[in-house]
Amino acid sequence: MPAVFVHGVPDTERVWSGVIARLRRNDVVTLSLPGFGGEAPPGFDATKEAYVDWLIAELARQPGPMDVVGHDWGALLVTRAVSLRPEAFRSWAVGGAPLDPDYEWHQAVRLWQTPEVGERVMESMTAPGLQKVLAAAGVPATDAEETARHVDATMKRCILALYRSAVHVGREWSDDLRRITAPGLVLWGERDPYAAEFAEFFLKTEGFEVVLALDADDAVGAIAADRPQLAIVDLLISGGAGLELCRRVHDRGILVLALSSVATRDAAIEAGASAFLQKPLEPLQLVSVVKDLLGTSSFLNEVVPAR
């Protein structure tokens, strides 16, 4: 009953080395996606369907039921495999990849999905440049260097084909999620560079107009320009400038919802927040609190006791 790990993009199976070193089991299997750190088989077209078929075939080689873990595109492929072959799995855990009919890919992916533009982007992608981008996104320096070192022409070609086959992957795959029977765990990293976009997506699907700012200076400028009814402030923004940002926004007479995994509710309220949510949080919880603060529900007293 092995534990099988499936990596994402633009990684190789090496991305799991730090995790596996901490596991107390000796039945771990890591898989390398075709074209990622090695050659793709002859005739392999690198579409999402081709990778799913490949993964299901690889998993069939393992004694089951098994535990399976996926990250990024590995998470999407694992979720698909668990949907199509639920009897083969004891448990599954995925992170860093959304599967929703209305999800829109982030800007970098949209460039990759555009013919000719994607090719030019890949041509300009160098190992030092990618290493710098990954490090800026929070990837440890040694891991960023290792990942960038293995991005070659084959991997770039496979990345383009994979993403271009997956423009509407949420619409195509989400209905089969109901077939999953094994217990699962879905993770989203607090400091994942796309986590804010994911929250933006959920709020927009509820009809809210959202302006996204990824640092304190941009937030101040956006608030001055757009005069929102509510500001959602991660207290770790810009290295921990969130409390000061709360004070500045509150002084403008704007409601503040503070989010943090480290700061306390009292500190947030003292800085002017109207409500506080401890991270990690559920997307639906975020939506419920936003609705309450804007006067469309009765949830607020459960979030911040009346003062």
What 3-state DSSP class applies to 289? helix
- What's the angle, vertex CA 185, arms to CA 291 and CA 29, rounded to 5? 150
CATH fold of 3-187 reads Rossmann fold (3.40.50)
- What's the angle, vertex CA 55, arms to CA 51 and CA 56, rounded to 5? 120
First-residue to last-residue Cα distance in the chain: 54
Residue 24 sits at φ, ψ, to 5 deg, of -100, 55
Is 174:101 a contact under the CB 8 Å cutoff?
A: yes
Question: Could you tell me which of 100, 38, 97, 35 has the C-alpha nearest to residue 70?
Answer: 97
What 3-state DSSP class applies to 260? strand
Q: How far from chain centre, in Å, is Cα 32?
A: 20
Residue 260 sits at φ, ψ, to 5 deg, of -170, 150
Is 224:207 a contact under the CB 8 Å cutoff?
A: no
- Asked, colleague to colleague, whether 3-187 and 195-303 share their fold, the answer is yes
Of 3.40.50.2300, 1.10.287.3510, 3.10.20.30, 3.30.420.10, the CATH number of 195-303 is 3.40.50.2300
Domain ranges of the chain: 3-187, 195-303
Per-position pLDDT tens, the chain of length 307: 799 999 999 999 999 999 999 998 889 999 999 999 989 999 999 999 999 999 999 999 998 799 999 999 999 999 999 999 999 999 999 987 777 887 788 888 999 999 999 999 999 999 999 999 888 877 889 999 999 999 999 999 999 999 999 999 999 999 999 999 999 988 766 566 566 776 777 788 788 888 888 788 888 888 888 889 999 998 887 666 889 999 999 999 999 999 887 767 888 899 999 999 987 777 778 888 999 898 854 333 333 333 3
